[in-house]
Amino acid sequence: MKYLLLVHHDEEAFAKMSAATRAQLLAESIQLCHRLNGKGQYVHASPLQPAATGAIVRVRDGKPTVTDGPFIETHEQLAGYFLIDAKDRDDAIRIAGLVPGARIGSVEVRPLREITGLPRE
């Protein structure tokens, strides 16, 4: 079953870390991706640009509204994700504990809903 591991952390605190520390966290994440790939569990992963670069789109009564930048006040922002194939929820939680971002923030574990009719099936 596929799981999305959503990595959250405080962007301001992350930006204040040394470049070496940030590079080490990224290197550890890349190493984890290679280990998961070796076990057939890696699907995709990527860090995200800061929340301020994003936009929120809402459509109400057929009219789109776009809000730029951060849209909610939180202590942690969505920083990246891992899309994995895990045996079960416990396996996904175990893998989430290996994500370096869990040491400076949190990792939300969410199972994907399996649906048919999507491209590349």
* Per-residue pLDDT tens digits for 1-58: 999 999 999 999 999 999 999 999 999 999 999 999 999 999 999 999 988 888 888 8
Q: Is residue 31 part of a domain?
A: yes
pLDDT of residue 20: 98
Residue 110 pLDDT: 95
Give the CATH number, domain containing residue 7. 3.30.70.1060
Token digits for 56?
Answer: 């929120």
* 118 located within any domain: no
Three-state SS letters, 8-22: EECHHHHHHCCHHHH
Q: What local confidence, expressed as pLDDT, does residue 74 receive? A: 66
Among positive and negative, which fits the CA dihedral 96, 111, 10, 33?
positive
Number of domains in the chain: 1
Question: Which residues span the domain enclosing 66?
Answer: 2-111
Give the per-residue pLDDT at 58: 85
User: What is the band of 121 on the pLDDT scale with cuts at 50, 70, 90?
Assistant: low
Let me know if residue 116 belongs to a domain.
Answer: no
Look-up: residue for tokens 């994907």?
112
Is 96 within a domain? Answer: yes
For residue 43, is it within any domain?
Answer: yes
pLDDT of residue 52: 85
Q: Is residue 121 part of a domain?
A: no
Give the model confidence (pLDDT) of 81-120 as tens digits. Answer: 999 999 999 999 999 999 999 999 999 999 999 888 989 8
Q: Is residue 120 part of a domain?
A: no
Q: Is residue 24 part of a domain?
A: yes
State residue 71's pLDDT score: 58
